[in-house]
Amino acid sequence: MSDYVKMWEDLGMDLETHDALCQVLPTAFGDVYLSQENRPEGMGFWDFVVSEIHGIRPAELIEAQKNGQKVFGTFCVYVPDEVVIAANGIVTGLCGGSQFWVPGGEKVLPKNTCPLIKASVGARLDRTCPFFRIADMYVGETTCDGKKKAYEILAEDVPVHVMDMPQMKRAEDYDKWAHEIEKFAGVVEGLTGNKVTPEKLNEAIKIVNNKRKALKRVYDARKADKLPISGKDALLMMQIAFFDDPVRCAEMCNKLADELDQRIKDGVSVFPEGTKRILLTGTPLAIPNWKLHHIIETSGAAVVCEEMCTGTRYFENLVDETQTTLEGQYKALTDRYMKNNCACFTPNTGRIDDIIRLAKEYKVDGVIDVNLKFCSIYDTEGFFVERALKEAGIPVLGIETDYTDSDAEQLKTRIEAFVEMLG
């Protein structure tokens, strides 16, 4: 029972409102996570992090700030962590995955904004997220209209730098993104007072690549016929990867992957034989959004892969480590980040290719295409996703949901029927 009250007070948090979250989180975590049997031992690390979620990492960040480091809060997998790390800065994810924060966001945003944006803004304005309080700067990106406007609201309180994302993938768009990365490096240098040098950037590229490789090892273990880890445990690892120190993250993920590899050798599975394998694709699942994984995994199926920002998009493709000039490195970063296939691009056929490829690699029985309510770009792209999957003979179910509990039973009925249909 570490006492973080003083730290939260110093951060100017609304303790009373925040306590309501402390009230519900242990129950939800118990129901979703601790109800599982035979989990990998290595998950103890992530259980620990959740137990101290608004305490232990914020305390580390504050300590780092006392030593002169700057903290950059980010919202999206397109923002290159490497640049921040090269300037001795720290990247952290920000709160945005709970209904708890949504009403706060609705005070200033239209109701028909996606829950992720409403929750993020609510967490900031209601002063109930330590990460939003700690960050010296928020780094946004123009991946959707809702976020663009939300950044303007957030910028009234805290410095915000917005990276202008290309919306197409032509040669000139690659040039534009390389230029945006270079400009971002200048902003990071300005705030940290540290120069981004080719040596430092190369070191940072290696750090983040190692983290990607470690996350991928855990995902690769989910390709096994006998699943050594549940989808929700893998999701938790992925969600916390956005907040943790990248070196420690890689170390813990590698440790978990070692255990999973051993489980595969020993034929240990956390699901009964014949459990249907599901690929989830769509909008991100920010912590503590565990709803869909829990419903799927209590309906006779297992989630084996997430083609999401909180999934394969976060770790697939490495940055070329051989470049020795900043220009070459910015280009290498551009090439890697532009390989991500977000629905903000037009066209975005690469995502369809990814989904079909992943469906084969992870030997899935079916795909669930999930969209957060009011995310029009993913919702619209669902038309192509579902058509392509049908053409490939892969069963698909399209779902639109938010963070509320009210549709849980309805979703369960639909998912159970889908799983049953998979034979």
Partner 1 sequence: MTEDKKSEKRKLNYYILFENYTHGLALDKILKEEGLKSRIAPTPRSIQGKLSCGMSLLVQEEDIDGVRECIERRKARYYSIVEMECQINPNRNVFC
Binding site for partner 1 (CB under 8 A): 1-5, 8, 19, 21-32, 34-35, 41, 44, 47-48, 50-56, 98-100, 288-291, 294-295, 298, 403, 405, 408-409, 412
Minimum CB separation of residue 387 from partner 1 in Å reads 31
Tell me whether residue 8 or residue 219 sits nearer to partner 1 (CB atom).
8
Tell me whether residue 96 or residue 382 sits nearer to partner 1 (CB atom).
96
Tell me whether residue 2 or residue 349 sits nearer to partner 1 (CB atom).
2
Find the farthest-apart pair of alpha carbons in the chain and give their distance in angstroms, rounded: 60
Minimum CB separation of residue 405 from partner 1 in Å reads 5
Tell me whether residue 7 or residue 188 sits nearer to partner 1 (CB atom).
7
Minimum CB separation of residue 263 from partner 1 in Å reads 17
Tell me whether residue 53 or residue 227 sits nearer to partner 1 (CB atom).
53
Tell me whether residue 50 or residue 422 sits nearer to partner 1 (CB atom).
50
Minimum CB separation of residue 101 from partner 1 in Å reads 10
Minimum CB separation of residue 125 from partner 1 in Å reads 19
Minimum CB separation of residue 7 from partner 1 in Å reads 9
Tell me whether residue 33 or residue 315 sits nearer to partner 1 (CB atom).
33
* Residue 400 token pair: 């639109």
Minimum CB separation of residue 48 from partner 1 in Å reads 5
Q: Rounded CA gap, 281 and 289, in Å?
A: 15
Tell me the torsion sign for CA atoms 264, 267, 268, 269.
positive
